[in-house]
Amino acid sequence: MTVGRVGVSLEPELLRLFDDLRLRKGYGNRSEAIRDLVRRALIETGTEPADAPVIGTLTFIYDHHIGDCSDQLLHVQHDHHESIQSTTHVHIDHDFCLEVLIVRGRSVDVRRLADAILAVKGVKHGELVVTTTSP
C-alpha cells in the first residue's frame, strides 16, 4: 500500500498530551494514532458515502410517560426494521428507559433511523456510534 505523507506542527504542550494519549492507547507511533483519529472524525461526521456499509449502536434515554413516546419509538423501529439487528431495553427507574439498538446497513439508512428516533418527543438524549471496515 502506498501512503501519502503530511507534516503536522503542534505546540509542545499539545504534542506532549498527544504522545501521552498515544502511549495510553497503545499506538506504536504517531502516524497510527493520527490515522485512527482521522478515520474516527470522518465516521463521526457522517462523511462516508451515503451507500457505505456501517455498523454500530444507537443509544438513547427516554421518558415513556411523555405523550405516546413508547408507541412512536416502536413505529419508527418497525419502519426501519431492516437497519436494526438487535435491541436491548433497560428500565432505569419509574419514568426513564434506556435502549440500545445495534444497527447495520447503508450509512444513509442508519443515520435516518437515528435522526427519526432522536426526534421523538420524550427522547432526552442519545448518540449514534458507527464504524465501517472501509478505509
Question: Per residue in 68-78, pLDDT tens?
Answer: 999 999 999 99
pTM for the predicted model, two decimal places: 0.74
Cα dist from 62 to 12, 56, 58, 77, 79, whole Å? 44, 20, 13, 15, 19
Task: Assign a CATH topology to domain 53-131.
Answer: Alpha-Beta Plaits (3.30.70)
In sequence order, what are the residues at sequence separation of 6 or more whose Cβ sits closer than 8 angstroms to the Cβ of residue 119? none
Average pLDDT of the residues of the chain: 92
Question: Which residue, 71, 90, 82, is CA-closest to 113?
Answer: 82
Question: Per residue in 2-41, pLDDT tens?
Answer: 888 888 898 999 999 999 999 999 999 999 999 888 877 7
| Euclidean distance between CA atoms 120 and 61, whole angstroms | 11
